[in-house]
Chains A and B, each alone.
Chain A
Amino acid sequence: MVGLLPMRARGAVTRRRDKVLAGPVDLDLRAGGITVAIGPNGSGKTSLLRMLHGIARLGGGTIDWTCNLRQARAGQAFVFQRPVMLRRSVLANVAFPLRLSGMPRARARARAREWLGRVGLANAADRPATQLSGGEGQKLALARALAGNPEVLFLDEPSASLDGRATREIEAILTDARDAGTKLVMSTHDMGQARRLASEVWFLRGGLLHESAPADAFFAGPATAEARAFLNGDIVE
């Protein structure tokens, strides 16, 4: 581990054309635990995660990792809401990022096989990845992201539109990764999931970080009226 964290974002903003998708936000990301971004639809959860990870262009402000940018990029991974399956076997999908970073083929495949075992896809190793179900696909995406041993893992709604069993399996993988020392930053619209997993909560509204607090304090009683309304199930704009 090179030590990416803490990460400081100051006035960070991302735009598409002239429309601000998220920001400007000031936030600090510290090692350990699971940070969960919540907020109404369109509040910029996905855009914020994409900006912090670096796949959405930073349109202003700064994001500073503790190490240099190249190491920071190498120490992160991202799991998309709709997992992107490479048109290869399940095993080759997991081995792919390891091969990109220069790991020899045999070692990459052994490591990939090990991770497939951990997420319960050992029997699917030779199947085409595009034939997996939604839950299996998301588990594959998790294995692919975690196999590179990232220090920070971003997840955008990792269990959206999955059934209860798949959600439970994915949460188990996530808590294992947290316990192994990976910092997780995820968005969710499932308040139950946020309560189960979060150690820190970011409440977003209109692209801005409206409230940021430790999970216990946040769920006991949010400081802002909008966050209280959101937790009560009211419609918040």
Chain B
Amino acid sequence: MNDLWAGLVEAGRLLVTFDADLLEITFRSLRVTLTALALASLIAFPLAALLAVRRFRLRRTVIALLNALMGLPPVVVGLIVYILLSRSGPFGVLVLLFTPTAMIIAQVVIIVPLVASIAHQSLRDLWSEYHDLLISMNATPRQRIAAILWDSRRALLTAALAGFGRAIGEVGAIMIVGGNIDHATRVLTTAIALETGRGDFAMALGLGFVLIALAVVVNLSIHWLGRTEVEARW
């Protein structure tokens, strides 16, 4: 109980004093996660729409695979990205290991299946509703995809929020490929792991509360921006 209380006090102190280190790693967390989320959405949304609209031979296999990959262990993703980016790996010449870019790459790999799967669920339902109408209107495949993506934008927002939730709290992969280097690749989750290991529970808890607050604030503001639940159906 004392540790929790001390953590709350520490979190309050960090916030009130605008602790420079805290601000730095908070912004880095946000930057890495939001960039990863934007890239993942750019990949996942069109992929999900394609899986909903097009009929091809491996479609069911790809969908099953995506669903399975939702549970991809981050540590393993981190390991694989590490090997690919390490100096002797195929992308070693890019010298990306232990940079925020490497962390972004790992997070994109982790959340694309999750975002694509959730998006696909709602896009599929909308497509079955729109199918006859869009065929009747001679919509081209591109127009069909654009129509269902636009009209399920709120469901896509939910998918993106799920991806954000997974990425912002992720520690295994970014620890491996980022290395938790102070002033370079340290983010909230890796800092928490470090402080816990050092036995500085108050600091770790303080960072933890900041992390939770961050996730809540981002979710709420996106909900308000998207006016989810305001209009009845979409």
Contacts and interface: CB of A to CB of B under 8 A. Distances in A.
A128 B129 contact: no
B142 to A, nearest CB: 11
A100 interface: yes
Given A55-B135, A130-B234, A100 B143 contact: yes
A214 B91 CA distance: 76
B229 interface: no
Nearest to B234: A87
Contacts of A88: 151
A131 interface: yes
A128 B233 contact: yes
A87 B151 contact: yes
Nearest to B231: A128
Given A55-B132, A80-B133, A87 B233 contact: yes
A86 B151 contact: yes
Nearest to A84: B133
B2 interface: no
A77 B151 contact: no
A97 interface: yes
Interface in A177-225: none
A161 B87 CA distance: 70
B136 A55 contact: yes
Contacts of A84: 129-130, 132-133
A41 B206 CA distance: 69
Contact of B138 (A100, A130, A131): A100
Given A96-B147, A128-B233, 5 more contacts: A55-B132, A87-B233, A100-B137, A101-B138, A130-B232
B137 A97 contact: yes
B221 to A, nearest CB: 23
B147 A86 contact: yes
A74 interface: yes
B232 A73 contact: no
Nearest to A148: B137
Contacts of B231: 128
Chain B interface main SS type: helix
B139 interface: yes
Contacts of B138: 73-74, 100-101
B132 A86 contact: no
Nearest to A128: B231
A87 B125 CA distance: 13
Interface string A40-81: 000000000000010100000000000000000110011010
B233 A130 contact: yes
Contacts of B130: 84, 86
Interface in B178-232: 231-232
Contacts of A130: 232-234
A130 B136 CA distance: 20
B152 to A, nearest CB: 8
Contacts of B151: 86-88
Interface string B147-168: 1000110000000000000000
A148 B139 CA distance: 14
Closest 8 CB pairs of A and B: A87-B234, A84-B133, A87-B151, A78-B136, A97-B137, A130-B233, A55-B135, A73-B138
B232 to A, nearest CB: 7
A88 B138 CA distance: 19
A53 B133 CA distance: 12
